[in-house]
A = this chain, B = another copy of it.
Amino acid sequence: MTDYLTDGAEIYRRSFATIRAEAELDRLPSDVERVVVRMIHSCGMTDLARDVAFTPDVVKAGHDALRAGAPILTDAKMIASGVTRRRLPADNDVVCTLADPRVPDLATKLDTTRSAAALELWRERLPGSVVAIGNAPTALFRLLELLDEGVGAPAAIIGVPVGFIGAVESKEELVAKAPTPYLVVHGRRGGSAMAVAALNAIAQEAEL
List the interface of chain A (C-beta within 8 A of B). 1-2, 4-8, 11, 14-15, 18-19, 41-45, 77-78, 80-82, 107, 111-116, 137-138, 141, 144-145, 148, 162-167, 169-170, 173, 187-193, 196
Which of B11, B162, B167, B169 interacts with A2 by CB under 8 Å? Answer: B169
State the CA gap A115–B43 with chains docked (Å).
18
Q: How many copies does the complex hold?
A: 2
Instruction: Return A4 CB to nearest CB of chain B, in Å.
Output: 5
Closest-by-CB residue of B relative to A173 is B2
Q: Indicate if the CB atoms of A6 and B78 lie closer than 8 Å.
A: no
Assuming A15-B163, A45-B188, A162-B193, what are 12 further A-B pairs, CB within 8 angstroms?
A1-B141, A1-B173, A4-B169, A8-B114, A11-B138, A11-B165, A15-B165, A18-B164, A41-B164, A44-B167, A77-B82, A191-B191
Instruction: Return A164 CB to nearest CB of chain B, in Å.
Output: 4
Q: Inside 8 A of A116's CB, which chain B residues have their CB? A: 6
Q: Indicate if the CB atoms of B82 and A19 lie closer than 8 Å.
A: no
Which of B18, B82, B115, B170 interacts with A78 by CB under 8 Å? Answer: B82
Q: Indicate if the CB atoms of B190 and A44 lie closer than 8 Å.
A: yes
Closest-by-CB residue of B relative to A8 is B113
Q: Indicate if the CB atoms of B113 and A163 lie closer than 8 Å.
A: no
Q: Inside 8 A of A189's CB, which chain B residues have their CB? A: 43-45
